[in-house]
A = this chain, B = another copy of it.
Amino acid sequence: MKTVGIGLLGAGIVGGSLIRRLVEEHSAIEAKTGLNLELRRVAVRDFAKERSIALDAAVLTIDPVDVVDDPNVGLVVEVMGGLEPAGELVLRALRAGKPVVTANKALLAARGPELIAAAEESGVPLLFEAAVGGGIPIIRPLSETLAGEQVQRVVGIVNGTTNFMLTRMSEDGASYRDALEEAQTLGYAEADPTADIGGGDAAAKAAILASLAFGMWAGIDNVYHQGIDSLTSADMKWAAELGYTIKLLAIAERLEGGVNVRVYPAMLPVAHPLAAIRGSTNAIFIEGPSIGELLFAGPGAGGEPTASAVLGDVIDAAREILAGAQVAPRIQLSSAELVPFEDVQTKWYVRLEVDDQPGVLAQVAGEFGRHGVSIKSVLQEGTGDDATLMIVTHRAAESQQRAARSSLEELDNVRSVASVVRVESAAP
| A residues lining the B interface (CB < 8 Å) | 17, 21, 25, 28-29, 31-34, 129, 135-137, 140-141, 144-150, 214-215, 273, 276, 288-299, 302, 304-305, 307-309, 311-316, 319-320, 322-330, 332, 334
Contacts and interface: CB of A to CB of B under 8 A. Distances in A.
Contacts of A21: 148, 290
Given A141-B141, A293-B298, 14 more contacts: A21-B290, A28-B150, A135-B292, A135-B294, A137-B144, A137-B145, A145-B312, A147-B312, A148-B314, A294-B297, A294-B298, A295-B297, A320-B325, A322-B328
A131 to B, nearest CB: 13
Contacts of A304: 289-292
B299 A296 contact: no
A320 B330 CA distance: 10
Each complex incorporates copies of this chain amounting to 2
Contacts of A214: 32
A33 B291 contact: no
A148 B334 contact: no
A316 B144 contact: yes
Nearest to A332: B34
Given A147-B316, A295-B295, A290 B307 contact: yes
A135 B296 contact: no
Smallest CB-CB A-B distances: 6 pairs: A325-B325, A148-B311, A137-B141, A137-B145, A294-B298, A145-B312
Instruction: Give the most central of A309, A312, A313, A314: most B CB within 10 Å.
Output: A312
A145 B134 CA distance: 11
A38 to B, nearest CB: 14
B294 A33 contact: no
Contacts of A299: 291-294
B312 A323 contact: no
Contact of A33 (B129, B147, B302): B147
Contact of A327 (B29, B129, B323): B323
Given A148-B312, A288-B308, A273 B297 contact: yes
Contact of A25 (B141, B150, B298, B315): B150
Contacts of A150: 25, 28
Nearest to A311: B148
B147 A315 contact: yes
A136 B298 CA distance: 15
Contact of A326 (B288, B297, B302, B323): B323
A139 to B, nearest CB: 8
Nearest to A32: B215
Given A141-B141, A215-B32, A149 B308 contact: yes
Given A33-B332, A135-B290, A297-B295, A144 B325 contact: no
Nearest to A2: B328
A33 B332 CA distance: 6
Contacts of A25: 148, 150
7 contacts: A31-B215, A140-B141, A145-B309, A146-B308, A148-B312, A276-B276, A288-B308
A229 to B, nearest CB: 28
A29 B149 CA distance: 8
Contacts of A314: 148
A308 B150 CA distance: 10
A138 to B, nearest CB: 9
Nearest to A286: B298
A295 B282 CA distance: 11
A214 to B, nearest CB: 8
A65 B13 CA distance: 55
Nearest to A17: B290
Contact of A31 (B129, B137, B326, B334): B334
